[in-house]
């Protein structure tokens, strides 16, 4: 791999527009910090990166590394990437919309809407607990996280949501629903099943009609069983015993409603902007997006991080809401301050999939974006 110099597409410091009374003023993007955060690519750990910052406090955009290790072509700032668990925000919004339409009751049990799916000895699991990860449902039990060979050998297989759930539901429930928080894909695969059951329409059609169509997101879609990634920002690679194996093409039916969506930086910016401006949800459901349950994390004892659809983090004193995502060869995220002074979308290409999906470069990007 040849050494790549960070390419800055645009760096624009914009004047801060009117800020709501009492809101802290966010500084303009820190050009030097952001350049430094994505410098030194490609490396063995990360082949490429793109960062997009917008908002009333200013804009910045940059890429680093390569989109293809064979050709050395640069990362494409406008290209698509796998957004992984950022998909959960889209799924959460769909469920909240159904509640808003009085088609489901968030306090009712999953068992009411999906009879026979959960084991008979499980307690009632309220639908809202799926969204804030307090359901107690055990984690999906598939070796993809720890075994890259398994991932590559099974990369084109189709898994139904029920098959994915069954790998988790053969285990006892982790805790009484609503009493702790444990992040799992299981809850959101289940939520996706509820969306399809209660609408009689596919997840992809719900995505188009409820979110991407109304917001004009032309490059965001649910790939079903299509393993391709057209117009990719960068190809994704897995490190297998020191060899980089191209893992760009891969069926995403295992993560499904918990992590399969494909998008672009511009579209994710448009999604979080429209969401925070109330274009998708009314006041009651919006409040759920920004309310963290008063529970501790399961087996960790720390404070809960997730609301019914988003996660809250504070970096350098700046509070932002959004979601991270990780698929093999891709790690991404979208975050914003509630007043949209600062919006951040990023996609990087790590060669290993860590247990929390966050390579070191993501921590650097987050710190630079909040500096």
Q: Could you list the active site residues? A: 85
Nearest in space to 177 (alpha carbons), one of 113, 127, 106 = 127
Note whether 349 and 329 are within 8 A (CB): yes
User: Which residues are CB-neighbours of 338 under 8 A, at least 6 positions away?
Assistant: 276, 290, 319, 321
Note whether 252 and 260 are within 8 A (CB): yes
CA distance 365 to 371: 10
Nearest in space to 336 (alpha carbons), one of 262, 273, 266, 264 = 273
């Amino acid at each position: 791999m040849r050494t790549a110099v960070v390419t800055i597409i645009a760096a624009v410091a914009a004047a801060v527009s009117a800020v709501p009374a009492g809101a802290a003023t966010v500084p303009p993007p820190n050009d030097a910090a952001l350049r430094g955060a994505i410098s030194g690519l490609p490396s063995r750990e990360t082949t490429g990166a793109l960062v997009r910052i917008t908002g009333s406090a200013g804009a910045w955009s940059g890429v680093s590394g390569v989109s293809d290790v064979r050709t050395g072509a640069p990362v494409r700032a406008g290209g698509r990437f796998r957004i992984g668990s950022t998909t959960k925000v889209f799924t959460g919004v769909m469920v909240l919309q159904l509640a808003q339409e009085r088609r489901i009751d968030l306090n009712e049990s999953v068992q009411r809407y999906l009879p026979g799916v959960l084991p008979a000895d499980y307690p009632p699991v309220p639908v809202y607990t799926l969204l804030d990860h307090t359901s107690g449902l055990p984690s999906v039990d598939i070796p993809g996280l720890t075994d890259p060979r398994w991932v590559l050998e099974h990369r084109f297989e189709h898994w139904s949501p029920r098959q994915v759930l069954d790998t988790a539901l053969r285990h006892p429930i982790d805790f009484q629903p609503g009493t702790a928080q444990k992040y799992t894909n299981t809850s959101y695969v289940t939520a996706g099943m509820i969306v399809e059951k209660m609408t009689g329409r596919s997840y992809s059609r719900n995505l188009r009609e409820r979110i991407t169509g109304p917001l004009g997101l032309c490059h965001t879609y649910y790939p079903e069983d299509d393993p391709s990634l057209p117009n990719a920002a960068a190809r994704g690679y897995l490190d297998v015993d020191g060899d980089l194996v191209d893992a760009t093409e891969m069926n995403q039916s295992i993560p499904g409603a918990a992590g399969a969506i494909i998008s672009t930086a511009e579209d994710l910016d448009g999604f979080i902007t429209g969401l925070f401006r109330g274009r998708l949800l009314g006041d009651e459901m919006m409040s759920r997006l920004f309310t963290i349950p008063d529970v501790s994390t399961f087996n960790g004892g720390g404070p809960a991080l997730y609301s019914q659809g988003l996660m809250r983090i504070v970096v350098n004193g700046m509070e932002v809401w959004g979601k991270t995502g990780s698929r093999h060869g891709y790690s991404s995220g979208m975050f914003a301050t509630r007043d949209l002074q600062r919006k951040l979308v990023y996609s990087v290409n790590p060669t290993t999939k860590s247990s929390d999906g966050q390579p070191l470069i993501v921590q650097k990007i987050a710190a630079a974006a909040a500096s």
